Structure 1
Amino acid sequence: MLYSYESIISVKNLATIQPHVAVCLAAFNGMDWLPTQLDSILAQSGVSVTILVSVDRSNDGTEAWIDSRARNEARLVVLPHGEQFGGAARNFFRLMRDVNFSDFDYVSFADQDDLWPSDKLQRAHEILQKTGADGYSSNVTAFWSDGRRMRIEKSQPQQQWDFLFEAAGPGCTYVLRRQLACALQSLLNQRWAAVQQVGLHDWFSYAFARANGFRWVIDDYAGMLYRQHESNQVGVNKGWRAGLHRASKVLNGWGLIQSALIADLVGVGEDVFVQRWTKSGKRKGMFWLALQAKKCRRRHRDQVLFALSCLALGVLGRRPS
């Protein structure tokens, strides 16, 4: 079933000079952060927002709280509860599949635990209008409960194939024009079972856009406060534990397996570039991909690490399958 703004909320005049944004929020055990995050989204200036919430089955009262809040807030739409997704990606995919975007100008993603400056969506709209791009993301400022803050840079120049190997920044910064969101929704409906194997919805969304001729802009402005805590499914990858976690995923080939899956889903699986590292001999394909590192990641340091990772997989005789 498609949940649309018009069918759920009685509003006679949708015509407005302000762009209308569907904010897709995936929640799970979010009572520590949801109240302040929702307030920051509802306080957005220069745009009209509708927040559409999907709650992964929780045990901290999230469902009851969000239902209560929605009874008193017409801009909050809650999708039916009860499903267990087991991760943010599947929860976001549910939102992208089930919401009718036809009444919106833009679609954005929101995590449950961040804080949005009041001009976050307005700036995204202005940048998209100025550049003519279809998708937007930005840098962020990570913050911790002890008061630390750190700017996270994701706006390095886009490369020919970076979309197959990394996202365009945190998904909670993404804003998509309706045409892009609807095209992505169509693919989700066509390949729903296969998409459930994708681990990161933001990476997949960026890859779909780039692979299918949609233009993407990464803003060098840090437009959001990106909360870091022990429950983060994906954070800023800082510290030795995060380093070990990344190393284990590199050495077991998880990242490149995801890359190959995403390449197939977004329509470039048969491209010569992809075939060279997915179909060649295990060592040959990985050694060749190492030489393509500058085309595969945006940041220079990540290009070096990517090349070293491919070499390691080549030595171990592993490649995506």
Structure 2
Amino acid sequence: MMRPKCLVLLAAFNGTQWIEEQLSSILAQEGVDVTVLISVDKSVDGTELLVDQYCVQDDRVHCLPHDLRFGGAAKNFFRLIKDAPIEDFDYFALSDQDDIWLPRKLTDAVAKLTSFEAQAYSSDVIAFWPDGRKKLVKKSQKQVEYDYLFEAAGPGCTYVFTPYLFSLLKKHITDVYTQLDCISLHDWYIYAYTRSNGYKWIIDSRANMYYRQHSNNQVGVNTGLRAFRKRLSSVFDGWYLRQAACIANLIGIQNNSFVNSWIDLDRRGVLNLAFNGNDCRRRRRDKFVFAIICLVLTVKGNK
């Protein structure tokens, strides 16, 4: 049996501290043939030089041209998707620069995609900290009708796609590339595009990677009072719902009857979201919090 050929798209920025360990875990994947394509957001710690050395040492590692500044992981991943080759690969995966993949991460993802006849895959992860702490981060709650409009399917570094879906995603990203500056989270956007177009997405309860937590994480795991307050402030200043509206517009579902009922983010629309919280988030606690937040925003009247 032919081993599946997987293209891993790795977004890097000031990553010299961790990227070698990450690349080693990717290149050691079992049961698949791996190629890595790296895009580096202009760095100051020698990341470009380090990945260039990898490209010389290992013909499975390739880099896109350097010296571009993206200002965040989302635009860097969108660039990778736009510029990635699609010929000769059976599956496509996303990778951060600082995690550790367990040996069967890609093999198990391919098996799930095949057995469930799905187009996209993500999974739970094991978060770990410099002090040795570890925690299972569960994202595999049952999907609901509109969760994709208000959350991602989990960390983007767990995402794996079939070539059919990736080719559609690549065309879409290319078509709207100049409009994507309003998107802060690529994993949320990709999940929304996929689900809104009716493609099947599997969220696996098996965690096949260690998700590194450190002070430079752009998002990371929402643990601790400080992290909770930071995320809550982004909700109450309107960023969260504005992001949902921007995503809905760019993926072309602004005229969907449910979306149309709230996309203007006026009081009536946000109140409607409060009463539909059960269909907007996967985790039971998040459903309740979502509804309460929408009620508070309705009272505040902030658009």
Bin of the TM-score, shorter chain as denominator length: over 0.9
**Fraction of identical pairs, as percent:** 49
Task: Give, as a single letter, the amino acid of the residue that structure 1 aligns with 2:281.
Answer: R
Aligned residues: 303
Match of residue 83 from structure 2: 98
Per-residue CA deviation, residues 99-152 of structure 1 (Å, 9 max, x unaligned), is 121221111000000000010000000000100000000000000111100000
Q: Pairwise mapping of residues 1-321 of structure 1 onto structure 2 (< 5 A)? A: 17-279=2-264, 282-319=266-303
Q: Which letter maps to 2:241?
A: L
TM-score (normalizing by structure 1)? 0.93
Q: Aligned letter for 2:82?
A: R
SS across alignment from 1:147: coil
**TM-score (ref. length: structure 2):** 0.98
The unaligned stretches of length 5 or more in structure 2 are none
Counterpart amino acid of 1:315?
Answer: V
Give the counterpart letter for 1:157 in structure 2: K
Partner deviation per Cα, 1:261-292 (whole Å, 9 max, x = no partner): 11111121111101111237x22111111010
Distance 1:103 1:263 in 2: 32
Compute the RMSD of aligned alpha carbons: 1.0
CA deviation after TM superposition for structure 1 residue 97, in Å: 0.5
How far has the Cα of 1:303 moved from its partner?
0.5
Name structure 1 gaps, 5 residues minimum: 1-15
Equivalent-residue separation in structure 1 for 2:271 and 2:182 (angstroms) = 26
Shift of 1:318: 2.4
The alpha carbon displacement at 1:192 in A equals 1.2
1:9 maps to which residue? none
- Segments of 4+ moved more than 4 angstroms: none
Structure 2 counterpart SS, 1:196:
helix
Correspondence for 1:6: none
Deviations 1:23-45 (A, max 9, x none): 00000000110011000000000
